[in-house]
Amino acid sequence: MHAALPAFTNEPYADFSIPENRRAMEEALANVRGQFGRDYPLLLAGERLATPDKLVSRNPSHPDQIVGIHSKASPDLARAAVEKTHAAFPEWARTPASQRVDMLLRAASLIRQRKNEFNAWLVYEAGKTWPEAEAEVSEAIDFCEYYARQMLRYAHPQPTVQMPGESDRLVYLPLGAGVIIPPWNFALAILCGMTTAALVAGNTVIIKPSSETPTIAARFAEVLAEAGFPPRSFSLLTGSGGEVGDILVEHPKTRFISFTGSRDVGLRIVERAAKVQPGQLWIKRVIAEMGGKDAIVVDREADLDSAVTGVVQSAFGYQGQKCSACSRAIIDQAVYSEFLDKLRERVAALKVGPSEDPESYMGPVISEAQKRKIVEYIELGKREGRLVAGGALGEGNGYYVPPTVIADVDPGARIFQEEIFGPVLAVTPARDFDHALDLANNSQYGLTGAVYTDNRAKIEQARERFFVGNLYINRKCTGAMVGAHPFGGFNMSGTDSKAGGPDYLLQFLQAKSIAEKAAPTAAAPPPGAAL
């Protein structure tokens, strides 16, 4: 590791109750609002291209406001992007790792300098409240800083057993040209983490952003260019997943696909990538994070006030649109009624409104289509359980859905089993702690989970039996911190990769073992031999 690089620490969050910080955020919001409606071209390995077919991004708090207008890629441009990205790989792969690391550290510095600006874009395009935006931009900085340090670990030969008479080493090589398909719910942080991990490892990438949040992706691409990443090392390809997604995944020169999104889309990518195309030289690697149906278990020996706080924050932070969000609360029947009373009171106090309003605890959901889907699940939930809170349509012309709690839900109910991706919480009683863990594990997913209990034996039991990639004890199940909580789940939640963890870069590297036999020592001439 560079002697000059200090140990990794997480980026601190700004406190918006401090007047200076509040004013700075208000100024950033005004500045970004003045940039609404701009046109953004495609970026193809350094070439800026405008196309007649456009994608319009809107503010989900005020859908009449156009955040950005983006050129859409055609199938031919998608094929060209793969060809160009593949052609640029050898040169970028030969760039010394130390130089790639320096670029990534510069990217971290640039995002840090523009933190409130990126906060504002997230508020307007992704519907994030001020604290949620601040946490996300901080996470993007963390990914840059953390992966820069991790790449320094992998840039040198790894320790191996040395055979007698040999020099034995293990080195890591980049994979090739890959496709980055980030989600809209962490339009900067996950986009940044997936992209920078691939780039710093020496791969070239095509970024195919979500159609809901393309402006944030375009702004991030500006950071990559300013940080010194060569124009040919990355492309930004905005467009319809239906039109260009399969082409990017199936192209024989695509080496890997890094995806975060829904289970169904992820499984389609896995299936499409597995089919070998004519001329393809490798088995494509898929790194997929595909959501969850996350549960919080509350034991009879828990601090109920703390548990209610954790459930509310996990279920309704960013409108429940996190793959880590709590959508199932499993409560010991001994404290079930008391928990529901406290939960109902807390939920009633949550303010729903425009994301730019610092008093809003919840903003809008991402789109009209997502709102319709969530409302359909709420109507279903009213039939599958007992409505405790919410259930009505949100006010205003934004895509608002009030926080909704449905109790007495059967474990076989659809709202207990299916990912809703919205502010809808199913609450189910459990006979005891063993039964609660059985209910928590009754899911095709296995991303995050939490347990509230003061009983040490039950904590150890949860560590052994609660089958999730990220388990939290006596705290909320959202808010994974880079470095501290490597993030990724089991089963249908993904391919078990751990973003923000010490082995994540290995997803974008391949190992090469090199053994060199020592040259034989020249024999000494016999005594008396002629010279």
The predicted structure's pLDDT at residue 2: 59
State the alpha helices, DSSP H only, in 228-262: 246-250
Neighbour tally for 40: CB within 10 Å: 23
- Catalytic residue list: 289, 323
Burial letters for 112-137: b for 16+ Cβ neighbours within 10 Å, e otherwise? Answer: bebbbbbbbbbbbbbbbbbbbbbbbb
Backbone angles phi, psi at 520, to 5 degrees: -65, 145
Q: Where are the domains of the chain?
A: 20-159+170-290+494-513, 294-473
Q: In the Cβ-directed half-sphere of 39, how many Cα atoms lie within 13 Å?
A: 10
The predicted structure's pLDDT at residue 445: 98
Q: Could you tell me the strand order of the sheet in which 62-71 lies?
A: 38-40, 62-71, 54-59
Annotation: CATH topology of 20-159+170-290+494-513: Aldehyde Dehydrogenase; Chain A, domain 1 (3.40.605)
Structure tokens at 226: 């300013």
Structure tokens at 206: 């095509």
Q: In the Cβ-directed half-sphere of 84, how many Cα atoms lie within 13 Å?
A: 19
Q: What are the residues whose beta carbons fall under 8 Å from the beta carbon of 303, sequence distance 6 or more? A: 452, 454, 474
At 507, is the secondary structure helix, strand, or coil? Answer: helix
> Do residues 399 and 368 lie in contact, with contact meaning Cβ atoms separated by under 8 Å?
yes
* Residue 445 DSSP symbol: E
> Do residues 234 and 205 lie in contact, with contact meaning Cβ atoms separated by under 8 Å?
yes
Neighbour tally for 211: CB within 10 Å: 17
Question: For the chain, how far is it from start to end, CA to CA, in angstroms?
Answer: 51
**DSSP state letters, 102-159:** HHHHHHHHHHHHTHHHHHHHIIIII---HHHHHHHHHHHHHHHHHHHHHHHHHTSPBP
Average per-residue pLDDT for the chain: 96
Asked if the domains at 20-159+170-290+494-513 and 294-473 fall in one CATH topology, the answer is no
Q: What is the CA radius of gyration of the chain?
A: 25
The predicted structure's pLDDT at residue 527: 59
Looking only at the bridges linking them, the beta strands covering 62-71 and 38-40 are parallel
Structure tokens at 274: 């597995």
Looking only at the bridges linking them, the beta strands covering 424-430 and 326-332 are parallel
Q: How far apart are CA 247 and CA 374, in angstroms?
A: 31
Burial class of 240 by CB neighbour count within 10 A (0 to 12, 13 to 18, 19+): middle
Amino acid at 1: M
Residue segments in the chain with a per-residue pLDDT below the cut of 50? 1, 530-531
- CATH classification code of 294-473: 3.40.309.10
Place of tokens 């809209």: 184
Looking only at the bridges linking them, the beta strands covering 256-260 and 234-236 are unpaired
Place of tokens 């319809």: 240
Place of tokens 């991030």: 220
